[in-house]
Amino acid sequence: MKDVYNFNWDDLGDLSEGRPNLGGETSVLVYRLMQFTFKDIFSKELGKKKTLELFVKAGNIAGKEFCINILDTSLQFNDFIADLKEKLVALKIGILRIEKSDDEKRQYTMTVSEDLDCSGLPIFDESVCDYDEGFIAGIFEEYTGEKYNVNEVDCWATGDRTCRFEVKQVEN
Amino acid sequence: MDSHLILEKIDSCLKDAKKHGLQKKGLTFPIDPALVEDDELRDICSRLASFFDMLNEAFHYSEQLAQGNLQVNASRANIFTMSLKGLHASLTHLTWQVNQVAKGDLNQQVYFLGEFSNSFNDMIDSLREKQILEQKLKIITDVLGEGLFLVDSDGKIIFSNPEALKLLGYTFNEIEGALIHIGIFKQLPDGTIFQPGENPLCNAIQIGNDYNESNGVFTCKSGFMIPVMVSSRPVYKNDTLDGAVITFRDITEQKKNLETLETINRLLEKQALTDALTGIHNRMKFDKILTSEIQRAQRNNSILSLIIFDIDHFKQVNDTYGHSAGDNVLIRLTRLITCNIRVIDFFARWGGEEFVVLSPGTGLDGVIQLAEKLRGKVEGYNFKEPGKITLSFGVTTFHDGDTDTVLINRADNALYRAKESGRNQVQYN
C-alpha cells in the first residue's frame, strides 16, 4: 500500500455502471454522517484546529477538481459565475447567490443557501462550513490562477438562514 | 413579587402593545428580574425579558428592511429574525443582480425566490432577446454598404457605422458629438456654404421631417467633397423627437457611370444617324431634316432646294477595281462635295452611290449653279482608282404644299432624265 494517496477525478468511478439502479445521488443525511464522523474522529486524533485546516484543504482540492471537470473555465467571469450557480443547483449542492462584487479588487460576498453541510443544523456558537470555504477558494483559484482567501462570516449554525462567505484574492 | 403580580404586569404591557403597537421604544419588560425573590420565577422573568429584547430587535430589523436598508444587522441568537435574515439575503442578492443587469450582465438567473425568480428571469429573457436584436442590428450597420449616422435632435453625432467613417476618413472619436451640418453636410455641390437656417438636413433633423437628397455633397476629413445620396428619418423617444438616422451613399462611381452612359448614348445616336462608310449623315437623319426644313419653308414662305445625284456607272468601278476601291471613291467623293457646299447645306448619303444635298435659302437658279459646280469639281477630280468619274444630277425646288415624297420624287425624276439624257449633267424639275 502506498503511503500517500493523490486524488484523481477518475477515482470517483463510473456511477452509471456501478450504480445502475440507485443512480448517482444519495441523501444529504449520508453526506453529513460522513462529514461529521470524520470531524469527530479527526478532532480527537489531530485536534480541532488541525481538523478544520484539513477540511479546508480537502475542500480546496474538491473545488479545483470540480472546476476542472464540471465547470467551463473558458467563459468570461460573469458567464462563469452564472455557470457555477447553475451547476451547484443542478447537482443539488446549494443555491449560490452573489451579494456584492468588486471585480477590480477581486472581492466578493456570496451566500450559499440550502447547502450540504449546515442547513437545518441546530444553532452552535461557531460556523461549520470549513469544507465549503476550501471548496469555493479552490474554484476561484483554479479559474483565475490566483490565490484566494475565503472566510465564512455567517452560517446557519450561527443563527443565520444562509451561509455567507467573504471571498478575497490574496495580494501577492 | 408573586407570580400573580408578575402576570398582571406582563398582561398590562401586552395589552398596551396590542393597542398602540410597539412604537419606537418597543416592548419594555415590566419587571426587573433582579427584584424577583423566587429563583424559579426570576429565571422565567429573565428568559421572558430576553424574548422581549429579541422581539424588539426583530421589529426594528423588519422595519429597516421594509425601508430598504440592507446594511441593518440582527444578532445571531435572535430566533425571531432568522426568516428575516433569509429575506435580507435575498434582497441583497437581488440588488446585486439588478446592478449586474445595469452593467450589461444578462447571464445571471435567480433561483428559488418564488415570484421574484419568475419575474426576474422573464425580464432577463426579454433583455437577452433585445440584446440579440441589437447585435443583429449592429451586424447590419457594420456590413451595410452605406454610411450611417445617428444624431440627436441638435444634429450631434451619437453613432456612426464603419462605412461612414471609411467614406469620410474619420475615427469615431474625431466626430463624436460634432454637429453633422457644421462639419459634414455644410455646402452645396458648387461649394456654396449653407447660410444659417438654410441647411435643409439640419432643418429636417430639428423639425422631425424626412429628408432626401440625391445630389448632395459631404465634406471629408481631408476637406475634399464626395457626391452623396443622403436620406434622413426622424427617431422618437416616448413620442418626443430624439434625433434622426441619416444614411448616405458615395455616388462618385454612379456619376461617372452616368457620364459614361451619356457619352455612349450620344455616340449611339450619332452612329444611328451617320453613314458608317463616309461619315456624312445617313438617310434616316436626312428624312428628319427634310421634314423640318419643309415645315420651316412652308411656315416662313422661304425657298428650299434639293439635289439628288449618283455616280455614273459605279457598278463598273466595283466590278473592275473591287469594292474596296469603290468604297474609297465614295469616301473621297463625299469629302470633295462637303468642301464645296455651304455649312447650312445638308449633305447625306441616300443609299448605294446616291446622295442628296438639301439647300435652304437657295432657289432654282442657285441650286442649278451649285449642282453644275459640283458636277464640274468631280469631273475634274482625279480619283486614284478608277481615275475619273462623273455624276448625274436631278434638282428641284420646294413648291407651296409639297410633301417630303413629292419633293423627292420631283428631284428623282429630274435625275432619271439626266441619266436618260447621257449622264454627267444636271436636269431640273
Domain with CATH 3.30.450.20 in chain B: 145-254
Residues in B closer than 8 angstroms to A81, CB to CB, are 107-108
pLDDT at A112 over 80: yes
Please name each of the domains of chain A with its CATH number.
9-169 (3.30.1380.20)
Residues in A closer than 8 angstroms to B85, CB to CB, are 154, 159-162
pTM: 0.60
| E strands, chain A, in order | 95-102, 107-113, 148-154, 163-169
CATH architecture entry for B273-428: 2-Layer Sandwich (3.30)
Q: What pLDDT is stored for residue A90 in this prediction?
A: 94
Confidence of residue B387 (pLDDT cuts 50, 70, 90): confident
Contact (CB<8Å) B86/A161: yes
Cα distance between residue B220 and residue B231, in whole Å: 18
The total number of residues shown for chain A amounts to 172
Q: What pLDDT is stored for residue B190 in this prediction?
A: 85
| E strands, B65-161, in order | 147-151, 157-160
Phi first, then psi: what are they for B20, rounded to 5°? -110, -5
List the one residue out of A12, A110, A9, A14 whose CA is nearest residue A68.
A9
Residues in B closer than 8 angstroms to A98, CB to CB, are 93, 96-97, 100, 108
Residue of A93, A102, A160, A164 best to disrupt the B interface, most CBs of B under 10 A: A160
Domain with CATH 3.30.70.270 in chain B: 273-428
Average pLDDT, chain A: 93
Q: What pLDDT is stored for residue A107 in this prediction?
A: 95
What are the angstrom distances between the C-alpha of A3 and each of A6, A58, B88? 10, 18, 49
Fill in the amino acid letter for B76: R
Q: What pLDDT is stored for residue A158 in this prediction?
A: 86
What are the angstrom distances between the C-alpha of B342 and each of A76, A146, B11, B284, B404? 89, 100, 136, 21, 22
> Which residues are bridge partners to B355 per DSSP?
B309, B349
Task: Give per-residue pLDDT as tens, B161-173.
Answer: 999 999 999 999 9
The interface residues of chain B toward chain A in range 33-62, judged by CB-CB distance below 8 A, are: none
Q: What pLDDT is stored for residue B424 in this prediction?
A: 95
The interface residues of chain B toward chain A in range 97-156, judged by CB-CB distance below 8 A, are: 97, 100, 105, 107-109, 111-112
Confidence of residue B411 (pLDDT cuts 50, 70, 90): very high
Cα distance between residue B70 and residue A56, in whole Å: 30
Confidence of residue B399 (pLDDT cuts 50, 70, 90): very high
Cα distance between residue B376 and residue B359, in whole Å: 18
Q: Quote ipTM for the complex.
A: 0.81
Nearest residue of chain A to residue B113 (CA atoms): A95
Contact (CB<8Å) A158/B76: yes
How many angstroms away from the CA of B125 is the closest CA of chain A?
14
pLDDT at A124 over 80: no
* Residue whose grid cell is 425573590: B37
* B79 has a chain A CB within 8 A of its CB: yes
The number of beta carbons lying within 10 Å of the beta carbon of residue A103 is 10
pLDDT at A172 over 80: no
Share of chain B above pLDDT 90, in %: 70
Task: Give per-residue pLDDT as tens, B111-136.
Answer: 888 888 999 999 999 999 999 998 99
**Which long-range CB contacts under 8 A does B228-231 form with residues at least 24 apart?**
B228/B147, B229/B254, B230/B185, B230/B201
> Which residues are bridge partners to B216 per DSSP?
B228
pLDDT at B257 over 90: no
Cα distance between residue B304 and residue A156, in whole Å: 120
A158 CB-contact burial (10 Å; exposed 0-12 / middle 13-18 / buried 19+): buried
Confidence of residue A91 (pLDDT cuts 50, 70, 90): very high
CATH number of B145-254: 3.30.450.20
Question: A169 by DSSP, 3-state: which?
Answer: strand
Catalytic residues of B: 353
